[in-house]
Structure 1
Amino acid sequence: MQEGHRKSGFLILKACWRSLGGQFEGPAAWLSRRSYSSWVPSWCAYTLSMAAAQPTSRQGVQKVLHVRFHPEGLPQLVCSSNEAPNELLLFNLRSGRAIQLSGHNCQIQAVDFAVRGASIVSCGSKFLKVWDCTTGSCLYTLGSIGDDRALVGHTEKINAMTVNSWQSCLVATSSGRGDGKLLLWNALRGELAADLNSTHRVGDQLHPSLQVMEFCNENLLACGSDCEHGGPAVVQLWDIDSPQSCSSFPANDSYITSLRADSACNTIITGSGDGVVGLFDIRTCSAINYLSVGSGHEVTSVSFSSCGTYFNAASTSNNTMVWDTRLMPTNRRQIHLASSQNRDAHFLRPLHCLSHGKQMPTAEHAGQLPGHVDEGDQGVNDARWLHREPVLVSVSGDGSIAMWDVTLGMPCIRHLVSHARCVNTVAVAPSDEYLCSGGDDQKVVLYHNKRGMGHQKWRLSHPLPGME
């Protein structure tokens, strides 16, 4: 018994030394942690019939920009690229085969599943398209000129798109300067549901260009803008059932690059072009705190962990900062906010600085030079949390993908290099058993946890059948 107690005590101490949350988990939880060494790249495919590792010119370099798993766990994956051909592909992960969703013939600005996974929505140029997930046929092209010759939709390129997770037939889009529209579409019916800011657009008056957006709950849409006329970037909160009651407040001194809300719909986090991360109280539309990823760097993505305990901000510095909400002041009584001219003194130390290494250099013709990236591709380009545990997956311009358990003192638990060039995007399957990444090498890579429950044996074909 004494020996057993000593062993148990040793395990508890070991967990406490290496894990910030170990004292709450105990030895049983420590022993049940999965082996992350079992995560391996298992299949890959190219968006072109032949990988172009050394393109002949900067023009014509196809890049995979987005990958998304089916939200209900079905064996489907959609990926999009910056140019034709094969700018939008739908994979059947059981057979590995892909079908081309043809019609955009341009860069896909955003893509996602909608209507509870029955459809795919994508935007490119001024148009939003809705696709059938079974046949791959285009159901609707939204934003075109109607029979009455009245323009329904955007007059400029669509900047951002988001799907309402609660009412998944609803999709919001925004456009840039010269248009200024914030539109709500019904992807099930193929029609415009609402012009949310129609009453706020007055004559030729310029309005902030909305760059990012997210549904915080069933009815609340949050949007982040760029800076207009030297003023700050703003966050707009729209009640889609009552658009006239829009709330707006100044958020960042530079344009907003990313925006997320926590699961409780209490807090919004924003990232900006000057490296500042802002936290805001949704209920009072006031600032909680300002943090920094480092001056001279741009925030590329922000998000909360599924448990709500942690939040992260990735940046062009090739690092991702992680903060613990349990150590973070959450109201104005706990911290005196400095004025916008003196925020630096109030930046709080992050829990972790997760580094992919040195920032990649750029070159005038980056597509031709190994070890260089296009300007804007430096750093951590995307980061996603697993759904069931506080593990963050980040991808970098250096071609690497890393997994980080933020409860550990030494959080890096897996580091993989599966791309020859910059990695732009990563997705996590709902089961947490598969990951997928896409990059500048026209490559889509599927990763599998061999010790997990992924008995379906999902796969990708290489090269793409029927596209030689």
Structure 2
Amino acid sequence: MTGECLHTLGPNPSDMSTSGHRRKINALAVNLAQSYQVATSGGNGDSQILLWNVNRGELTCDLNANLRNQSPGLPCMDALEFCGQNSLICGSDSSGGPAIVQIWDVQSPDLVSSFPANDSYITSLKANPSGTVVAAGAGDGSVGLFDIKTGGGIVRLPLGSNFEVTSVSFSSCGTYLQASSTSNRTFVWDMRMLSMDPGPMPVQSPLKLADIISRKVRALHCLSHGVPMPTSENAGQMPGFVDEGDEGINDARWFHDKSILVTASGNGSIAMWDMSLGDPCVRHMISHTRCVNTIAISPDDRHMCSGGDDQKVVSFLFLYLLP
């Protein structure tokens, strides 16, 4: 209402005795079931996973304090995702070994399970709407699916070892899973076609990659924005080039009430895809002169905004229902 800063969570230069992060914050997540509860994770040299009460501006729990005391070299967590009211799912950096997923009960608070999920750092985590399965996308170009209750491995889907997974998410109905990558493509699976029976929880190493040509894991759609644009250190002076790491799909968002996906590419384009169609591309728009970094969709699915490296925010209004 006023724009006034209500709380500063953590230490400041004049009072380093206050509890909080001493290094950069890698990730943040809000518990939608208890919106006053926020989780944060620290970067290298910190590795804390902290729970805050933002209404009171207080630290409520240092989740992994005991783990840090037992193993000072814990990897930092690069992705956080609340699932339901009590579960917090964390995905780690690789730190020279497999990246791990931790599932915490934030009410106890106890570590429910911890297991190797991917060969490289985890870039994105998302739980399905029913809160039974978590998808973990990683820098090794794979997406692992795991049972949240048991930590059991379900399947590890390959997108391509030369590319990094940039985002994973489930449609609001839970029917579809999307995984985007720096290949400038998005794969979409129909969850009804995948075998969702969990196996044992991985212990020493991640699940083996599924056979990409197997009908059991075949993607429903492969959505492409075209060949990734060439990169250049001087991208700002050379139109048609993008910065290193921006040449793929940088963001992907589902409509709230329809199985429609919007993807944003480093080539400056935005595309809308309807999963119910054999040819899913509904619209393909060039909205930015440089890389599109992020998109947001209003709760009523009638407005959308995008932001890009060209320092523009572009707003869209849909006056009629999509087919």
Instruction: Identify the TM-score tier after normalising by the shorter chain.
Output: over 0.9
> Distance in 2 between the 1:163 and 1:340 partners?
28
Gap change, CA 1:408 and 1:341, over 3 Å in 2: closer
**Equivalent-residue separation in structure 1 for 2:139 and 2:100 (angstroms):** 13
Question: Which whole-Å CA distance do the structure 1 matches of 2:160 and 2:16 have between them?
Answer: 50
* Distance of 2:85 and 2:224 partners within structure 1: 36
The alignment status of 1:140 with 2:7, answered yes or no, reads yes
Match among 101, 121, 132 for residue 266 of structure 1: 132
The CA deviation at 1:250 is 1.0
Give the Å deviation of 1:149: 5.1
In the TM superposition, 1:224-239 aligns within 5 A as 224-228=91-95, 230-239=96-105
Q: Distance in 1 between matches of 2:19 and 2:282?
A: 50
Separation (CA, whole Å) in 2 of partners of 1:235 and 1:438: 30
Q: CA deviation at 1:368?
A: 1.3
The structural deviation recorded for 1:142 is 1.1
Residues 177, 206 of structure 1: 8 Å contact kept = no
Whether the aligned pair in 1 keeps the contact of 2:117 and 2:206 (CA below 8 Å) is no
Q: Does 1:187 align with 2:54?
A: yes
- TM-score after normalising by structure 2: 0.93
Partner of 1:297: 163
| Cα pair 1:197 1:243 within 8 Å, conserved | no
Cα distance, 1:140 vs structure 2:
1.1
Structure 2 residue aligned with 1:446? 315
SS in 1 for 2:110: helix
Contact persistence 2:11–2:17 (CA under 8 A)? no
Q: Contact 1:318 / 1:378 at 8 angstroms: preserved in 2? A: yes
Closer/same/farther in 2, CA of residues 341 and 265 from structure 1, 3 Å limit: closer
1 CA distance for matches of 2:208 and 2:225? 30
Structure 1 residues 287 and 365 mapped into 2: Cα distance closer, same or farther (>3 Å)? same
- Kindly indicate whether residue 193 of structure 2 is the aligned counterpart of residue 327 of structure 1: yes
Query: Percentage identity across aligned positions?
Result: 56
What is the CA-CA distance between 1:246 and the residue it aligns to?
A: 3.7
Superimposed CA distance per residue, residues 165-215 of structure 1 (whole angstroms, 9 cap, x where no aligned partner): 110011110011111100111111111111111121117711111000110
- Which of 242, 254, 272 matches 1:385? 254
2:263 alignment partner, one of 371, 391, 394: 394
User: Match for residue 244 of structure 1?
Assistant: 110
What are the within-5 Å matches in structure 2 for residues 21-170 of structure 1? 134-145=1-12, 150-170=17-37
1:220-274 deviations in whole A, cap 9, x for unaligned?
000100112x321110111111123442111111110000001111100010101
Look up the equivalent residue of 2:17 and give its one-letter code. Answer: A
Structure 2 contact 116–206 (Cα < 8 Å) conserved: no
- Summarize deviations over 1:392-440 as a string: whole Å, max 9, x none: 0000001111100011100000111111110000111001111111000
Cα shift readout 1:334-361 (whole Å, capped 9, x = no counterpart): xxxxx86953536622000000111011
Of the three residues 306, 310, 313, the one matched with 1:437 is 306
| Amino acid corresponding to residue 451 of structure 1 in structure 2 | Y
Contact 1:146 1:152 in 2 (8 A): no
Alignment of 1:200 with 2:28, yes or no, is: no
For residue 8 of structure 2, give the secondary structure of its aligned residue in structure 1: strand
Give the structure 2 partner of residue 110 of structure 1: none
Cα pair 2:179 2:188 within 8 Å, conserved: yes
Is the CA contact 1:257–1:300 (under 8 Å) kept in the aligned structure 2? yes
In 1, the alpha carbon distance for the partners of 2:152 and 2:234 equals 44
SS at match of 1:139: coil
Q: Which runs of 4+ in 1 moved over 6 A?
A: none
* SS state at 1:361 partner: coil
Does the aligned pair in 1 maintain the 2:117–2:207 contact within 8 Å? no
Q: Which residue of 1 aligns with 2:90?
A: 223
Rounded to whole Å, the distance in 2 between the matches of 1:204 and 1:251 is 20
Partner SS, residue 142 of structure 1: coil
- After superposition, the Cα gap between the structure-2 partners of 1:148 and 1:236, relative to the gap in structure 1 and judged at 3 Å, is same
Q: Equivalents in 1 of 2:274, 2:211: separation in Å?
A: 29
Q: Where in structure 1 are there 5+ consecutive unaligned residues?
A: 1-133, 334-338, 453-468
Letter in 2 for 1:298: E
Match of 1:279, as an amino acid? L
State which of 171, 175, 184 in structure 2 corresponds to 1:318.
Answer: 184
TM-score with structure 1 length normalisation? 0.64
After superposition, the Cα gap between the structure-2 partners of 1:436 and 1:344, relative to the gap in structure 1 and judged at 3 Å, is same
Q: Cα distance 1:246–1:330, how it changes in 2: closer, same or farther (>3 A)?
A: closer
Q: Per-residue deviation at 1:295?
A: 2.1
Contact 1:199 1:244 in 2 (8 A): no
Q: In angstroms, what is the RMSD of aligned CA positions?
A: 1.8
Does residue 307 of structure 1 match 2:157? no
Please point out which of 33, 38, 41 is paired with 1:171: 38
Partner AA of 2:293 in structure 1: N
**Matched residue type, 1:362:** T
Secondary structure of residue in 2 paired with 1:179? coil
Structure holding more helix per residue: 1
Match of 2:232 in 1: 363
Q: How far, CA to CA, are the matches of 1:203 and 1:246 in structure 2? A: 17
Look up the equivalent residue of 1:242 and give its one-letter code: S
1:322 match: secondary structure: strand
